[in-house]
Amino acid sequence: MSKFEAIKQAAYRANMQLPELGLVLFTFGNASAVDRKEGAFAIKPSGVPYAELRPEDMVVVDFDNNIVEGSKRPSSDTKTHAVLYKNWEHIGGIVHTHSTYATAWAQAQLDIPILGTTHADHLTADVPCAPVMNDEMIKGDYEYQTGFQILEAFTARGLKPEEVEMVLVANHAPFTWGKTVEKAVYNSAVLEELAKMAYLARQIRPDAPRLKDSLIEKHYERKHGPGAYYGQS
């Protein structure tokens, strides 16, 4: 049995959840799971329909984008995943989709504003949209540069990836991550709902105001703060 069996199985299960949750169409997305000890991650092979996907199809790649195990070509977004894993050592899984509402905000080059308590249950900031990539980066190693497009956006805004586990890439689509790939999938589904809610709220009321700070703090802290009381102990 492969020493990467655990992350291959985890990546497979995560990828299969994406169409089940309505987050991908055809082959528009990918998920990966990392093994920090081995310095490698398992990711979906490029262009393989989800209905045909098997655990053994997962491709294992190191943080320098070298294939460690697998006979198929890895996802075209593999270099982006590698950059994030290499620079953000706490994350255990990454998901990339082209889910409709989140991608629409990315195409509009806009942050998703924090308008309601559902958003505040998960993070205390707007969902950031990384700026449009410059021509030099586009003409270079595009997928590799996408990773730095995300890193630079977080640095510029003073955001911590362990607190804001999602981002929009301008004109492209969303990426999410988490301590596990299961959490990254969860964040991807949450992001799509936040995007949908914000879009609808702004359709109903174009000047819908940002949620006030006291409500943001209350809803975030009751789930994530030292005195959290949401759920079971």
Residues forming the active site? 121, 230
| Residue whose structure tokens are 């990539």 | 133
Q: Tell me the two tokens of residue 97.
A: 């989709």
How many Å apart are CA 178 and CA 91, to the nearest integer?
5
Q: Measured on CA atoms in the order 100, 106, 110, 112, is the torsion positive or negative?
A: positive
Contacts of 175 (CB under 8 A, 6+ apart): 80, 84, 94, 95, 96, 150, 166, 167, 169
CB atoms inside a 10 Å sphere around CB 230: 11
What is the distance between the alpha carbons of residues 107 and 122, in angstroms, rounded to a whole number? 23
In one letter, which amino acid is 145? Q
Extract the tokens encoding 223.
């789930």
Q: How far is CA 103 from the centre of its chain?
A: 12
Backbone angles phi, psi at 185, to 5 degrees: -65, -45
The angle that helices 142-157 and 78-87 make with each other, rounded to 10 degrees, is: 40
The upper half-sphere exposure of residue 90, i.e. CA atoms within 13 Å in the direction of its Cβ, equals 9
What length does the chain have?
A: 233
